[in-house]
């Protein structure tokens, strides 16, 4: 099937997965830590985001304090600039996260242009205990028509 604007799939919700990523840092991140990045090949609008946890972990949270949440973000980086703007978050709860579960992320509907990067990251101060969290970000989007 074509990718023309008369294609019956045009405007339908699509999904992309930012590959499974493991983060096992035992002390707090001193800076945002990029876990995965994908360059978009079309103009899109991100509609939803969730985190699929393949292997759970206990959480030590901000500054390594037990019982605090672990924050993951999804955002965009404008083509060629490297600047990151978060537009969605998902938090691993204070008790950690079980294997094979899905966390619903909150997201602000955001446009990305062809050439922009979709980025999945762990936030500053976020840390895990001795076990690693293995998760992947599921992003729902629609392609966006940009006329000349």
DSSP 116: P
- State the pLDDT at residue 2: 41
Mean pLDDT of 110-125: 85
More confident residue, 20 or 49: 49
Strand partners, 148: none
* DSSP H or E segment with residue 121: strand 117-122
The reported pLDDT for the residue numbered 82 is 78
pLDDT of res. 7: 64
Taking 3-state DSSP, the helix, strand and coil percentages for the chain, each rounded to the nearest 5, stand at 0, 50, 45
Whether pLDDT at 110 is above 90: yes
pLDDT tens profile 55-73: 766 655 444 444 456 778 8
pLDDT band with cut points at 50, 70 and 90 for residue 1: very low
Mean pLDDT lowest among 35-39, 75-79, 130-134, 142-146: 130-134
pLDDT in tens, 22-58: 555 444 556 677 888 888 888 999 999 888 877 766 6
């Amino acid at each position: 099937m074509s990718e023309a604007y008369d294609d019956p799939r045009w405007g339908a919700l699509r999904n992309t997965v930012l590959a499974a990523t493991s983060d096992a840092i035992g002390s707090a991140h001193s800076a945002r830590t990029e876990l995965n990045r994908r360059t978009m090949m079309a103009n899109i609008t991100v509609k939803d985001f969730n985190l699929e946890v393949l292997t759970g972990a206990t959480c030590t949270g901000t500054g390594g304090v037990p019982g605090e949440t672990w924050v993951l973000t999804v955002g965009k980086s404008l083509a060629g600039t490297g600047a990151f703007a978060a537009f969605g978050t998902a938090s691993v709860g204070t008790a950690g996260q079980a294997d094979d579960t899905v966390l619903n992320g909150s997201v602000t509907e955001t446009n990305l242009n062809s050439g922009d990067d979709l980025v999945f990251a762990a936030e500053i101060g976020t840390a895990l205990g001795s076990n690693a969290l293995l998760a992947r970000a599921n992003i729902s989007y629609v392609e966006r028509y940009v006329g000349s």
